[in-house]
Amino acid sequence: MFNPKTEIVSKLKELGYPVMRSSNNVFNEVPAITYRISNNSTNLDLDNKIASQDIRIAVDIWTEESTTASNILEQAEAKMRELKYRLENSLDVDAPEGALYHINATFVGIR
């Protein structure tokens, strides 16, 4: 079974921002990127061997400016595409006045 964590963290770190799992949502500096593997399911062949895996990665971008968040999303999309993941959707997450800007993006891939 393929585990995508290592390659995803490595590729996102190339952007130069802190990268951590979503459960570790405490960052000392922004911009920052958090991620989680929201799906990693297998498809089996007739011999009960893994034929492929459906992988979905959630990437969250945290910044103090909206335009910075959008720029980082564009950079992250290019990096994820290098790994053969496709941007499925992205959204601006509503937040109260004074909170960090937050973009959530979902990437999908088949291995």
Predicted pLDDT at 24: 63
Return the bridge partners of 37, or none.
Answer: 57
Tens digits of residue pLDDT in 82-98: 999 999 999 989 878 87
Classified as helix, coil or strand, 5 is helix
Tens digits of residue pLDDT in 37-76: 999 888 899 999 988 889 999 999 999 988 999 999 999 9
pTM for the structure as a whole: 0.86
Predicted pLDDT at 60: 95
pLDDT (mean) for 3-15: 92
Cβ count within 10 A of residue 106: 17
Q: What is the average pLDDT score of the chain?
A: 90
Q: Does domain 5-110 have CATH number 3.30.2000.10?
A: yes
* Of residues 36, 30, 37, 6, the one with CA closest to residue 16: 30
Predicted pLDDT at 111: 81
Cβ count within 10 A of residue 34: 22
Tokens of 23: 């459960």
Cβ count within 10 A of residue 62: 24
Domain boundaries of the chain, sorted by first residue: 5-110
Local confidence band at 5 (pLDDT 50, 70, 90 cut-offs): confident
Calpha distance 81→73 (Å, rounded) = 12
| CB of 80 closer than 8 Å to CB of 97 | no
